[in-house]
Chains A and B, each alone.
Chain A
Amino acid sequence: MADRATVSREALTAFLLRLADDHLVLGHRLSEWCGYAPMLEEDLAMPNMALDLIGQARALYQYAGEVEGKGRDEDQLAYLRRERDYVNCLMAERANGDFAHTMLRQLYFAAFMEPMWRGMRSSSDAQLAGIAAKAEKEVAYHIRHAGEWVVRLGDGTEESARRMVAAVEALAPHVDELFESDAVTTAVAQAGIAPDPATLRAAFDAVVGPVFAEAGLQWVETPFGRTGGRQGRHSEAMGYLLAELQYMQRTYPGMTW
């Protein structure tokens, strides 16, 4: 809580909701594989990772509600906002596509979050530092798991390589959005709460680069990236995702399990 004076309540809440929404939405996407994975081992591995992400989202929502100070709890923040109020990156809400696409997206997001959590471990905000210490170990495994699959699919059969290349092309427009800076990230970085995303690109490249080299994949440059998630402008996929994600709380308000 130190240095709260140097960052506005609004900026910190906005930052926490971005992170929390990323984790909730991507965790939900991963959980959609449960029961459909190509093999039993992955049918456990993907929900394992989904649970890590949703656990991280939960900690972030709880804290965001506390910082916001309007009496909203984790369930209200996770399940009862409108589409335009979600501020996750667009990559997270993309439909899963095939297994190659899902693993590459997981690698990208984990390679983005790993240096973010590492930076936040020494955050001026003790609560975030605590969340980061736990999350950092979880995300390290996500990098390893997704990375090993990207290598094996990229350097596998003709079909797996074709699917991996297609995934690289499909996700390319979504990478730059992760590293966007704005007034919120600047304020949070200046208060020593979290690294500015723009400073994490080198660490991301240091993880993804060697995986691509081993997988025989080429990085694809796109003329322009997709953006807007941090302002609540989502793709068509988001409405369908929220319909399923929010169904239970909207149908049985306040239900607990």
Chain B
Amino acid sequence: MSKNQIPLWEVFIRPRNGLAHKHCGSVHAADEVMALQAARDVYTRRGEGTSIWVVPSAAITASDPENKDENFEPALSKVYRHPTFYEIPDEVGHM
């Protein structure tokens, strides 16, 4: 069986106590139903999740690592974008 007959899917699991689905790996599956089952069998064997998303790997558009510098370097010098220059009143408590 040639590999490209079985597409790749990216798997996102929402952990028990977390809010957001997190990327945890990938599976091969013929379609979305089988991908969900494969993800369940491969990535939730130890009670890791309460919800699964699968996304065709081909549907993901990724940034080019070659453009890393122009994409991300300019942000490094802009510390004022971090909200660390405020005095938080004690009454607010933990934010």
Contact = CB atoms under 8 A, between A and B. Distances in A.
A45 B29 CA distance: 13
Nearest to B30: A152
Interface size for chain B: under 10, 10 to 19, 20 to 34, or 35 or more residues?
A: 10 to 19
A145 B37 contact: yes
B30 A41 contact: no
B37 A144 contact: yes
Contact of A41 (B1, B29, B33, B45): B29
B37 A48 contact: no
Interface residues of A, number: 13
Contacts of A44: 41-42, 45
Interface string A38-67: 111100110010000000000000000000
Contacts of B6: 39
Given A41-B27, A41-B28, A148 B42 contact: no
Contact of A45 (B1, B30, B31, B38): B38
Contacts of A38: 1
Nearest to B34: A148
Given A39-B6, A41-B28, A48 B45 contact: yes
26 contacts: A38-B1, A39-B6, A39-B28, A40-B28, A40-B42, A41-B28, A41-B29, A41-B38, A41-B41, A41-B42, A44-B41, A44-B45, A45-B37, A45-B38, A45-B41, A48-B41, A48-B45, A141-B40, A144-B37, A145-B37, A145-B41, A148-B33, A148-B37, A149-B34, A152-B30, A152-B34
Interface pairs A-B: 10 shortest CB-CB: A41-B38, A45-B41, A44-B41, A44-B42, A41-B27, A48-B41, A145-B37, A148-B33, A41-B42, A39-B28
Interface of A: 38-41, 44-45, 48, 141, 144-145, 148-149, 152
